[in-house]
Amino acid sequence: MNTPFTTTPYQPHTRLTRLGAESNWQRLCDGYRTMVLIRQFDKKAINLQRTGQLGTYASCLGGEAIATAAGQALHDNDYFVPYYRDHATQYLRGVPLHQVLQYWGGDERGNVFPANTPAARDLPYCVPIASQLTQAAGIATKAKLGHEHAAVLATCGDGATSRGDFYEALNVAGVWQLPLVVLINNNQWAISVPRALQSASTTLAHKAQAAGIEGFQVDGNDLPAMLEALDYALDKARHGKGATLVEALSYRLCDHTTADDASRYRKASELHVAWQNEPLARLRQVLVAAGHWSADLETGWLGECQQRVDDAIEHYLNTPPAPATDMLDYLYAALPEALRAQRQALQQTAGGSHG
């Protein structure tokens, strides 16, 4: 398989193994299945939002290979610190799809990841841009202090690299040799601002250089390339060899969120070109050519996905609402005396209408 793997401008990798063994093909097929499932999920989630059954939702269309590779490359005892387009990673870490919907449906209970899964201690989605990255450095510090054989993978978008948090996290990861991998989903757009207006840096991976850590670009529409890159970076982190910045090049095929209309700032012709390089069709072509996937398998899997997504939606829509007192009950470890009267008032107040 000769997939293009754009390597670091500074240190080309010689340690990367080529993906040729049977187990690697199995891994690619598993990844492909996840990507198909998440794309179906994504489409349905947008439909739910359009019909008033979900809140503002951040689509992951076009970023499936990045998030799927992250989920596949992470080990159970690693830590995942997401931004907010990582539905595939969360799913692979053990978050049921109905909980992803619950989160975007405005219910914090979507962040109560199941206790018996690797997701149990992962951070929830992080909406304030880049603020998760310094936290990831803190978790990496904890892992290092405890001599854990574990890595921390944190994700962000291209816009996040303009924030001080991004640089502060990379900087400390360099000084303290932290087991941290920062994965940029460079989908070329931060809402309406294109990559060229975000930074004059030749690549976003170059930003690693100032922090004294390794940084490289990888084709984010190429699942095997993503797996190679993340396997390498996470393994390096687990073995105490320091932090890595991975810039995954992709394209946001969707609007920023369901509250956005990208046609206001993005040419249809550019979007059309980007679709020619989208990650699912590319991987399917490779798998089919190598005899590891077929039209029958595709049909069967699409049906299975439909069922799973429908089940998740049904579960989500049939979840009874949480008691209003939840908004106070989880604020402190124990309800302070000062909040007792408010809690009582809340309990006695009818829900009312908020149009």
Partner 1 sequence: MAEQAQQHPDNALPLNLIEAINHALGQAMEEDDRVVLLGEDIATNGGVFRATEGLKERFGLRRVMDTPLAENLIAGLAVGMASQGLKPVAEIQFMGFIYAALEQLISHAARLRNRTRGRLSCPLVIRAPFGGGIHAPEHHSESTEALFAHIPGLRVVIASSPARAHGLLRAAIACPDPVLFLEPKRLYRLQRLPVSVDESPLPLDTCFTLRAGHDLTLISWGAMIHETLAAADALADQGVQAEVIDVACLNPLDRNTLLTSVSKTGRAVIIHEAPGHGGFGAEIAATLAGDGLMQLRAPVERVTGYDCPMPYFAMEQRYMPSVERIVAAAQRTLEY
Q: Which residues are catalytic?
A: 252, 256, 265
Q: Which residues contact 29 (CB under 8 A, 6 or more apart)?
A: 287, 292, 293
Segment near partner 1 (CB under 8 A), from 28-36, 134-142, 199-207, 261-269? 134-142
Tokens of 293: 């996937």
CA 163 to chain centre: 19
Contact 229, 7 (CB under 8 A): no
Binders of partner 1 among residues 104 to 123 (CB under 8 A) are 108-109, 111-113, 120-121, 123
∠ Cα 173 175 177 (to 5°): 55
Amino acid at 218: V
Quick check: 136 binds partner 1 (CB under 8 A)? Answer: yes
Q: Which is nearer to partner 1, 163 or 282 (CB)?
A: 163
142 binds partner 1, rule: CB under 8 A: yes
Nearer Cβ to partner 1 (171/199):
171
Buried b (16+ CB within 10 A) or exposed e, 3-31: bebbbbeeeeeeeeeebeeeebbebbbeb
Give the residue among 338, 191, 195, 208 at the shortest CA–CA distance from 264. 191
Q: Which of 14, 269, 337, 349 binds partner 1 (CB under 8 A)?
A: 337
Stretch that binds partner 1, among 137-145, 242-250, 304-312, 343-351 (CB under 8 A): 137-145
Residue 134 binding partner 1, by CB under 8 A: yes
Helical (H) or strand (E) element with 49: helix 22-50
Number of Cβ within a 10 Å radius of residue 341 = 9
Segment near partner 1 (CB under 8 A), from 60-68, 128-136, 226-234, 254-262? Answer: 128-136
User: What minimum distance in Å lies between the beta carbon of 331 and partner 1?
Assistant: 5
Helix (H, G, I), strand (E, B) or coil at 56: coil
The reply on whether position 124 binds partner 1 by CB under 8 A is yes
Among 285, 327, 344, 347, which residue interacts with partner 1 (rule: CB under 8 A)?
327
* Contact criterion met (CB below 8 Å) for 150 and 75: yes
Smallest separation (angstroms) from partner 1 to the CB of 278 = 33
Among 16, 339, 343, 346, binds partner 1 (CB under 8 A): 339
**C-beta atoms surrounding 188 within 10 Å:** 20
How many residues interact with partner 1 (rule CB under 8 A)? 41
Mark the segment that binds partner 1 (CB under 8 A) among 7-15, 38-46, 336-344, 346-354.
336-344
| Interface with partner 1, residue 175, by CB under 8 A | yes
Rg of the Cα atoms in the chain: 21
Q: Are the C-beta atoms of residues 113 and 106 closer than 8 Å to each other? A: no
Question: Applying CB under 8 A, does 231 fall inside the site for partner 1?
Answer: no
Interacting residues toward partner 1 by CB under 8 A: 79, 81, 108-109, 111-113, 120-121, 123-124, 128, 131, 133-142, 145, 164-165, 168-169, 171-172, 175, 326-327, 330-333, 336-339
